Structures are given as structure tokens and as C-alpha cells.
Amino acid sequence: MLTKRIIPCLDIKDGRTVKGINFVDLRDAGDPVELAALYADKGADELVFLDISATEEKRKTLADLVYRVAEKVNIPFTVGGGISSVEDVDILLKNGADKVSINSSAVKRPELINELVAKFGSQCIVVAIDAKQIDGNWKVHLVGGKVPTEIDLFEWAKEVEERGAGEILFTSMDHDGTKNGFANKALAHLSEMLNIPIIASGGAGAVSHFTDTFVNGKADAALAASIFHFKEIEIKDLKEALQKEGIPVRL
């Protein structure tokens, strides 16, 4: 059985780490480079940096931040936000990112996934999907969750896999920041229908939520933000608890 991964997520706005609830009400959570180094030291398996203002404000993710993070950490990290071309990805990977995450740009032009995979390989390309339930159906949302679409989560996830993406980062907007647990039913369905890894995002608030998403949600990795930023759960303690539950983790 493959080792389950614990991934702190750093949402970046104006060069600072921020955290909100249901994608709004942002508050400052610290310097992203310092936090990255801290998490790498404390046993995180990977990191994700999402420039949450990048798509909305039509800015490119700062390559400078990627370079500074790469100097400080020795674990893989993914960067997303406003990435819409082969050139964007090339700059980020050359500055030290291990993977890139695309979201709105992939929905608007799905061929982008094929182009990036052809140029850089599946292992570098993560497709992030933000979705929420509308009338009982999971619908994809764009631009940091602000723009709803009629696109079905599961149909889009299948297309993403078929186009060659190496991984899917699924955030339940209904669960994001609530600390009530992950969207395990949707995660399990994604895991059962796809062959690529699924990262669970949105809703982590307790150690038991991670256990649940690995066992019931069948997630390959779990991502969280505020519980790590504000030291509500230590990564080492979390991993030791998971190991006691028989869940394989890297200690």
C-alpha cells in the first residue's frame, strides 16, 4: 500500500500566507517562505502554494517566491494560481517548483492539459478542481470559487485524467475552512472511477478527519491549511496517530 501524504497548503495573496472560510474572510497566517521551511522540517510530505489572487487579478504567480522557497525546502512543492500557458509553467519549474497546479485555465481551454503533459510530463501537472453541491449535484467553480459553471465534477475529473494529468486536487467549497471533515463520499467516488492520485482538500479540523478521508474517502493525500498555520495540529502528532490506525505514512 502506498504511503499516504500530508500536505500543508499555503494560500498566497500579496506575498503573504492567508486563510479564510468558504474561500472568503481572509486573515494573515505568516510569511510563506518561513512557513514552508518550518513544515519541511516538521515532516510534511509535500507543500502546495496557491496564489489565490492570481487568476482574479490577472497576475502571474510570482516566480521569485518559488525561487526563495526552493532555496529553503527539500521536499516537493506544487505552485498554482493564474497559470495559463506552457511559458508560465516553464518559468515556475525552472525556478524550482516540482509541480504546477492549473484550475480555471484548464476548464476554459482543456487542451492546455495535453500541451503541458506533452512538454513537461504527467508527473508535473496537477489539476485543481473546486466544486460545491448545487441541488445535490457537484458543480465545478472557477476563479477561486467565485464563478459557478454547469460542469459536473466527476465528468470533468474523468476528462482531466484522460488528457494526461498526473494528479487531481479536489477542494470541496462546502467544506473549506469549516473544520467539519472532508467530502469523503465525493472523494471515494473520484478514487473509485480514476487511476490517478486524488488529494483531498477542504474541511480538515481534527486528526480523525484525516483518518476518515484516507479510509472512507480513499484519498491518496490530504491537504490542510489553517490547522497547521495556527498550530492546532502538529504534523508529527498527526502522522503518529495515523500510523496507530494502520494508515501508512512517512515518519
- Catalytic choice (130, 176, 212, 220): 130
Q: Is 11 a catalytic residue?
A: yes
Q: Is 25 a catalytic residue?
A: no
Phi, psi values for residue 231, rounded to 5°: 55, 35
- Catalytic choice (11, 45, 51, 88): 11
Q: Residue 205, by phi and psi: left (phi above 0), alpha (psi -120 to 50) or beta? A: alpha
Q: Residue 23, by phi and psi: left (phi above 0), alpha (psi -120 to 50) or beta? A: left
Residue 148: half-sphere exposure toward Cβ, Cα within 13 Å: 8
The answer to whether 49 touches 78, Cβ cutoff 8 Å, is yes
Amino acid at 62: L
Tell me the C-alpha to C-alpha distance, in Å, between residue 48 and each of 148, 157, 160.
24, 20, 19
Closest CA to 127 of 138, 140, 136: 140
| DSSP string over 75-122 | S-EEEESS--SHHHHHHHHHTT-SEEEE-HHHHH-THHHHHHHHHH-G
Residue 148 DSSP label:
E
Active site residues: 11, 130
